[in-house]
Structure 1
Amino acid sequence: MLYFAHSARDDTGALDLESFQFLAQHLHAVAEGAARRATLARPERTDFAAAARLAGLLHDLGKYRPEFQLYIRDDPRYLKGNSLTRHKEAGAAVAFDRGHKAVAFAIAGHHGGIPDGTECLGAVSGPNGRVVAASLRATATRDCPELGAPVPIPPQLPNGLAWDLFTRVTFSCLVDADWSDTGAHEREVKNWPAEPDPPALEPGERLARVEAFIAGRAARPLEPHVKRARAEVLAACLVAAERPSGVFTLTVPTGGGKTLAALAFALKHAARHGLRRIIYVAPYMTILEQNADAIRDALDVGAADPTVFEHYSLADPGDTNANETDLGAAARRAENWDAPVVVTTNVQFFESLFSNKPGRCRKLHNIARSVVVLDECQTLPPGLVAPTCGMLNQLATELGCSVVLCTATQPAFDHDKLAPDERLAVTEIIPPDANLFATLKRVRVRWPKPTDAALGWGEVAGLMRAQKSALCVMNTKKAARAVYDELTTAGAGGAFHLSTGMCPQHRREKLAQVRGRLAAGEPCFVVSTQLIEAGVDVDFPFLLREMAPLESVIQAAGRCNREGKIPHAGGRVVVFRSAGGKMPPDRWYNAGRAKVEQLIREKGDGPQIDDPAAIRDYFARLYHTGNLDAAGVQEMRRTFKFASVAEAYRLIADAGQPVVVRTWGAHRAQIDDLLVELAARPRKSVYRQLAPFQVNLLPAQLVPVGHLLHEHAGRVLVWDGKYDDEVGIVSETADEFIV
């Protein structure tokens, strides 16, 4: 009897038996592919490659069941979902009984996700596990002699966290090899061309381009002290790149040129230590888009060049097998990050590290031996600091990564509430005598006194209109909209509103208009939520910030006198309490604001935003107010609860449901064309083209606006309600349901 792994059909839809993929061929290809990936990820660990090879050999062992072979031949007695055709449990049982528990978890999860320990044990002991494996041993070994080879000795690992990461990366190698081989078979059957190989990082050559680009930018008119500071930052990065791999901090105030300097560090460091790729991680879409553009410019590559790949959560339609919908190279890069430079979000990066799903975990082996640059790292939720820092330590010590923590406001990631294996032992890139914060001091902050009255929306708008240009940052969308309405009612020309109620493309276009007005010296008044704070490149002479946590105030202040054009730290930042404003429903955000208010009461003034010691003191106080592992993620990782970890580790408590805003008149024709294309052929490449036209809505709050939505054939929700050219989605309950 011939045993097959995958079927094939001709142009009429009928089975084409001659094009079926042999099961032994698939098992061998996946085993070698998984081992190759494991070797590239951890070249010093032969036991890792052996485990990955074993996972590949055993993952589809259950497909030797007669029932599966009848199912794959369209036997009507064995429809999809029939328990007698289940195939992952048998291989998991063999691995488990030979002591390879990590391999067992990987195999048990390669469809659907890595289970918790009790579920994995149930699968091994159940009717599709050991019993089936024993019944297939002779048949499978005859067809695929490699299955009869001696099983390698399981690795020796020190603790549960090490086992957790070992399992995750083994799983990643298995899934990527499995999906790649399945995709290659389908391309061969359909006579599609082979996918192109990704370009190499070539860090030495690319570093030369980046240095030339930075030199060209330095020739632009800049304040001398800013130019000197940026040159110092770049020089320090190039010196530090020669150091051994590990965890670094790059503590640079706004305007210090840290994005390009960090890129130069990453390239030189990669060349020095043979690292494979650079992964830029940013907390918000606004920073991601801006960084991606800057990196492409510096590397001299266009938007379509595969050298730089952007990956963010809004573009993902869900955790589906890419081979089911889109076999293109872009889809593959999105699943496995097989690109020299990846630019992605905190949510995509960190939740992938803690995920149990095949689509998200597929990329993990490619994170190994990378330079990971974490921009604005202070935005990590304090309640997840312990598991996050623990994982970053493991990336450095177990996966050969170097991690760079970039920010002007370094958190206390060595806090005494963290366990020893969670505290980050860092190397600061900037030498202590650089004195960057004094050199790049651009603003003076006026904090409210304890007795100062709270301001109404009209008063806030009035303070803005008293200036030629001003930026006001509010804590909530409702408050930002209220101040914006006051501005427009008063007839202020050049008024703009920014919030997450606007899709990314809308915000990008508005910011381009804002920058144009500022460059031309025209009046410009922007009211924004916190989205503008971190990394958005705008430069206002005057900033109003509603009372907030210190890190938010500092990041907002980075939008004031950003280029240092007003001498003697002449940018003005005014922090105020509002009469009608509410706080976001975030426990740590409220705790941060409370700590700032405490400092104001203690000192009679607020903290110095250009004093790293004051910033560290604030974070130390803040971290003492709560649990740095609020969901108990670390204990779950130690006890093999993969599904539970994935559920517990959420950077955003409710990340929201992306909806396509087809009623935005400015781009309606383009959006409609993409929706038509998506309905005809659901592909991840089309989902990603739609991502700039999406807004995140809270699923729990969709009922009140359900009549304004419809589900599209391409598995996306579409917004049919009003979409305003100035403020985005318009609804009476907008502030409650937009993330």
Structure 2
Amino acid sequence: MNFIAHIRESDKTIQTVEEHLLAAKELAETYGEKLGVKHLTGLAGMLHDLGKYSNEFREYILQAVNNPAAPPKRGSVDHSTAGGKLLYELFHKDNISRYKGVVAEIVGNAILSHHSYLQDFLNPELESNYLSRVRDKDLKDFEITKKLFFENVISEQDFHHFVNKAAIELEAFLAKESSENTEKQLMFLTKFIFSSLIDADRTNTRQFEGNRTNEKTIDHEKLFSVYYEKVINKINTFKNDSNADHPINVLRTEMSDQCDVFAEKPSGIYTLSIPTGGGKTLASLRYALKHAKLFNKKRIIYIVPYTTIIEQNAQEVRDILHDSGNILEHHSNIIENENENDELQDGFMSVQQKLKIAKDNWDSPIIFTTMVQFLNVFYAKGSRNIRRLHNLAESVIIFDEVQKVPISCVSLFNQALNFLKTYAQSSIVLCTATQPALDFVENKLEINPDAEIIGHLDQVIEAFRRVEIIDLATNQTFTNEKLADFIEAKMEDVQSVLIILNTKTVVKNLYTILKERNIQASAYHLSTSMCAAHRNNILIKVKDDLLSKNKIICISTQLIEAGVDVSFECVIRSLAGLDSIAQAAGRCNRHGEKDIQNVYVIDHEEENLKHLKEISVGKQISKKILVDLNQDASNHGGHILSKLAMERYFKEFYTKFSSDLNYFIPGLNKTMTELLTANKNKSGFYQAYKARNGGVPPLFLVNSYKTAAEHFQVIEDLTTSVIVPFEDGKEIIANLNSDGSIDDLTRLLRKAQHYTINLFKYELDQLSKNDGLVSYLDGKIFVLKAGAYDREFGLNLENDSQLPLEYI
């Protein structure tokens, strides 16, 4: 009798359990080799669907496929517990050796969690989700299941040899750091194993469903060599440019050359403090390609603070490399994250199963994504996020505008980077014009000595000074009406003005006021209420007007001040943190086209910053520094954007948030780090368990992975990605319900990245109330109706846009 892992939708071909387990094992082993733990990851792959060796599961899947109108009873079959239970019974019950016992826990947890998320070893209720499954749950026909496994997949003797090798790998892994870091090491190792298992399982399932046993692999070394030559050719063309001898262009070339030389150093954590407008994208790409080529890295990953920056940076790299197929933009998770166990969808192609196994694992050679998505990989719930973790290994990871790491996540960010550097053979570049002090936390960043790539920084910063910051914030405030008057007056003297304000509401209102005044200039509005494709269309028009020296006014939220290559004659920035002011200044006279130009800093009284604590605090600290400079022009290095001023700003900023830096969870009175890396001596849950039960739980680990993930969110208000009916977004929406293949769905979801916006819950609720929202694919994907999207402003919560869809 064949025991069934999956039944192919197209031709009803059966994939047997042994075929799937051995294929998943082989894939997981290739992922585990990156950390030297291939037996640990292979063990997870080999055991994850052990529970499918049962008549119960065989009958269940046949009924589900043959009678789709009358599916089997939900909750009737558990196939994910068996593998963890086998490890527990063999290596955790009697005559336990420490390393094999820990193997049973970390690999077993990954196995029993592969349809949900890692379980708590000990939770706030002082119970063990892990033990309740592997120890307490009674599995029907478990003895038969084990017998079939040892007969068909691996002999019992060979299995014990395999576990011995996994235990040796674990011991070697833990030997890399002192014993005081053991729980932290095991936390990251468990997540890496879980990531490898999830991706191996889903990749093999996708390959079987598409009837493809072997997929073409990329020769990364060859590809990066070709890319590197293209970068060098691009740089050589600059030398023949008529402006090549301009001081700024000479400096850009020097800094790019320094990046090239520095790429020959071993992998580590480094800083790249190129001033705004200094050619950061090209210089960092040059470093990444050469380093990847020399040190056999598999991919280059750019992490940016906002989705709004991705499209321009990615396009700039595409233009240099003349390649789009190998460059992935990952803006956000279009599919609603899994909140439920999807075990009962496994084996046959439900809508949920198609979405689950679509290629979403960051295996492209070059990837652009956000800080939110990076942190979600390590800490957020749902298997879709963590699936990508193993592909962060053996990579060059460039963090653009690293000063934008959310305050509550600084400590977690540092721990993730330390893991990638120490264990995952990744090289990390912290790239920004305003390097923050990321060591004001308990879990410090293990940055390399002599980490700065650019030499003589003070001289470079001074040489790049192209603007004068004019303080209009210390002695007055502005309304939108007063600001409109000021803009009208400035337009008498200049061709272009950029205004950056802190909230979408004041941006929209100022734009409306200026339009009503009929100022003789093109006016543009930009905000995150627009999808990437929409914003990109507007930015193209903005750049065309700037190039043609047409009169132009652009009003934007802060999305324009990082990574967007525009150069205005005049910039007005609403008071915020010094890093934001510096970024705004980088959009003025960006290429030194003119002598020193003015950047005006104002205090806007109509901005409501009640829910924007970090902007509010940054504004207060910046104002204090401005006051100091007004009183004595030699304070803080004599300039608002000096290195001394920046150091003072970040030190005070992080001190102000000192209680928030370790991601404190008020309801549990614990930090995320305590939940994730608890040891028995310090765990409050462990001590409480001992007091209540008069004994200790039979566990090596007491981490609370599931609880930590359920409490984690990078920003305080979770957002949901929604596809909008803008241009190609209409076609994407039309194709969502078509009966396409997994590959078709993968391509559709990747393309949809450009046609999404992220909505807060109150926005979703208002749209639902106004009938502006539709759900597709069993409620997993949301889209806007035509009336809920506007040509000028993007999102329309009232769902009453008067613009016909064909005009958008």
Q: With the length of structure 2 as denominator, give the TM-score of the two structures.
A: 0.82
Q: Which of 257, 264, 267 is residue 245 of structure 1 equivalent to?
A: 267
How far has the Cα of 1:609 moved from its partner? 4.5
C-alpha distance in structure 2 between counterparts of 1:134 and 1:171, whole Å = 26
Is the alpha carbon distance of 1:478 and 1:380 closer, same or farther for their aligned partners in structure 2, counting shifts above 3 Å? same
SS in 2 for 1:51: helix
Equivalent residue number for residue 212 of structure 1: 233
Please tell me the residue identity of whatever aligns with 1:258: K
C-alpha distance in structure 1 between counterparts of 2:386 and 2:216, whole Å = 22
Equivalent residue number for residue 569 of structure 2: 541
Q: Is 1:386–2:411 an aligned residue pair?
A: yes
Is the alpha carbon distance of 1:702 and 1:73 closer, same or farther for their aligned partners in structure 2, counting shifts above 3 Å? closer
C-alpha distance in structure 2 between counterparts of 1:339 and 1:232, whole Å = 30
Please list the CA deviations of residues 15-38 of structure 1 after superposition, one character each: whole Å capped at 9, or x if unmatched: x4xx31121222122112211221
Query: Bigger shift: 61-70 or 228-237?
Result: 61-70
Q: Which of 650, 655, 668 is residue 713 of structure 2 equivalent to?
A: 650
How far has the Cα of 1:433 moved from its partner? 5.8
Please list the CA deviations of residues 496-536 of structure 1 after superposition, one character each: whole Å capped at 9, or x if unmatched: 11111222211111111111111111100011111111111
How far has the Cα of 1:449 moved from its partner? 5.7
Aligned 8 A contact 2:109 2:130 in 1: yes
Aligned 8 A contact 2:334 2:722 in 1: no
Structure 1: runs of 5 or more not aligned: 735-739
C-alpha distance in structure 2 between counterparts of 1:29 and 1:179, whole Å = 11
Equivalent residue number for residue 683 of structure 2: none
Equivalent residue number for residue 113 of structure 1: 117
Please list the CA deviations of residues 673-701 of structure 1 after superposition, one character each: whole Å capped at 9, or x if unmatched: 32221111372322333332322221234
C-alpha distance in structure 1 between counterparts of 2:614 and 2:332, whole Å = 23
C-alpha distance in structure 1 between counterparts of 2:319 and 2:24, whole Å = 38
Aligned 8 A contact 1:237 1:430 in 2: yes
Please tell me the residue identity of whatever aligns with 2:220: A
Please list the CA deviations of residues 385-424 of structure 1 after superposition, one character each: whole Å capped at 9, or x if unmatched: 0110111111101111110000001110122x33356777
How far has the Cα of 1:650 moved from its partner? 2.4
Equivalent residue number for residue 578 of structure 2: 550
How far has the Cα of 1:60 moved from its partner? 1.2
SS in 1 for 2:328: strand
Is the alpha carbon distance of 1:511 and 1:732 closer, same or farther for their aligned partners in structure 2, counting shifts above 3 Å? same
Q: Is 1:336–2:367 an aligned residue pair?
A: no
Please list the CA deviations of residues 167-188 of structure 1 after superposition, one character each: whole Å capped at 9, or x if unmatched: 1111122122212222222222
C-alpha distance in structure 1 between counterparts of 2:201 and 2:790, whole Å = 46
Q: Is 1:721–2:787 an aligned residue pair?
A: yes
Q: Is 1:350–2:375 an aligned residue pair?
A: yes
Matches within 5 A, 1:617-632: 617-626=648-657, 627-631=660-664, 632=671
Aligned 8 A contact 1:250 1:429 in 2: yes
C-alpha distance in structure 2 between counterparts of 1:135 and 1:704, whole Å = 54
Structure 2: runs of 5 or more not aligned: 92-100, 122-127, 665-670, 679-702, 801-808
Q: Which of 47, 52, 56 is residue 45 of structure 2 equivalent to?
A: 56
C-alpha distance in structure 2 between counterparts of 1:387 and 1:424, whole Å = 19
Aligned 8 A contact 1:106 1:114 in 2: yes
Aligned 8 A contact 1:679 1:712 in 2: no
Query: Bigger shift: 319-328 or 115-124?
Result: 319-328
Is the alpha carbon distance of 1:201 and 1:476 closer, same or farther for their aligned partners in structure 2, counting shifts above 3 Å? farther
How far has the Cα of 1:599 moved from its partner? 2.0
C-alpha distance in structure 2 between counterparts of 1:9 and 1:578, whole Å = 59
Q: With the length of structure 1 as denominator, give the TM-score of the two structures.
A: 0.89
Aligned 8 A contact 1:659 1:717 in 2: yes
Equivalent residue number for residue 737 of structure 1: none
Equivalent residue number for residue 395 of structure 2: 370
Equivalent residue number for residue 472 of structure 1: 499
Aligned 8 A contact 2:304 2:371 in 1: yes
- Aligned-residue sequence identity (percent) comes to 30
Is the alpha carbon distance of 1:585 and 1:373 closer, same or farther for their aligned partners in structure 2, counting shifts above 3 Å? same
Query: Bigger shift: 258-267 or 106-115?
Result: 106-115
Equivalent residue number for residue 141 of structure 1: 150
SS in 1 for 2:736: helix
SS in 1 for 2:429: strand
Equivalent residue number for residue 583 of structure 1: 609
How far has the Cα of 1:256 moved from its partner? 0.7
Q: Is 1:600–2:626 an aligned residue pair?
A: yes
SS in 2 for 1:245: coil
Is the alpha carbon distance of 1:245 and 1:342 closer, same or farther for their aligned partners in structure 2, counting shifts above 3 Å? same
Aligned 8 A contact 1:660 1:716 in 2: yes
Aligned 8 A contact 2:270 2:448 in 1: no
Is the alpha carbon distance of 1:58 and 1:330 closer, same or farther for their aligned partners in structure 2, counting shifts above 3 Å? closer
Aligned 8 A contact 2:275 2:433 in 1: yes
C-alpha distance in structure 1 between counterparts of 2:271 and 2:399, whole Å = 10
Equivalent residue number for residue 137 of structure 2: 127
Equivalent residue number for residue 711 of structure 1: 774
Please list the CA deviations of residues 443-466 of structure 1 after superposition, one character each: whole Å capped at 9, or x if unmatched: 11012363x121121221122222
Equivalent residue number for residue 257 of structure 1: 279
Q: Is 1:614–2:640 an aligned residue pair?
A: no
Matches within 5 A, 1:2-13: 2-8=2-8
Equivalent residue number for residue 73 of structure 1: 62
Aligned 8 A contact 1:195 1:329 in 2: no
Please list the CA deviations of residues 527-556 of structure 1 after superposition, one character each: whole Å capped at 9, or x if unmatched: 111111111111001111111111111111
Equivalent residue number for residue 455 of structure 1: 478
C-alpha distance in structure 2 between counterparts of 1:642 and 1:215, whole Å = 51
Equivalent residue number for residue 427 of structure 1: 451
Equivalent residue number for residue 312 of structure 1: 331
Equivalent residue number for residue 442 of structure 2: 418
SS in 2 for 1:309: strand
How far has the Cα of 1:4 moved from its partner? 2.2
Equivalent residue number for residue 104 of structure 1: 108
Query: Bigger shift: 337-346 or 718-727?
Result: 718-727
Q: Is 1:684–2:684 an aligned residue pair?
A: no
Please tell me the residue identity of whatever aligns with 2:408: G
Aligned 8 A contact 1:389 1:423 in 2: no
SS in 1 for 2:512: helix
SS in 2 for 1:110: coil
Is the alpha carbon distance of 1:385 and 1:633 closer, same or farther for their aligned partners in structure 2, counting shifts above 3 Å? same
Matches within 5 A, 1:653-668: 653-662=716-725, 667=727
Aligned 8 A contact 2:376 2:386 in 1: no
How far has the Cα of 1:724 moved from its partner? 3.0
Aligned 8 A contact 2:276 2:586 in 1: yes
Equivalent residue number for residue 522 of structure 1: 550
Is the alpha carbon distance of 1:702 and 1:8 closer, same or farther for their aligned partners in structure 2, counting shifts above 3 Å? closer
Equivalent residue number for residue 318 of structure 2: 296
Please tell me the residue identity of whatever aligns with 2:236: A
SS in 2 for 1:680: coil
C-alpha distance in structure 2 between counterparts of 1:373 and 1:604, whole Å = 37
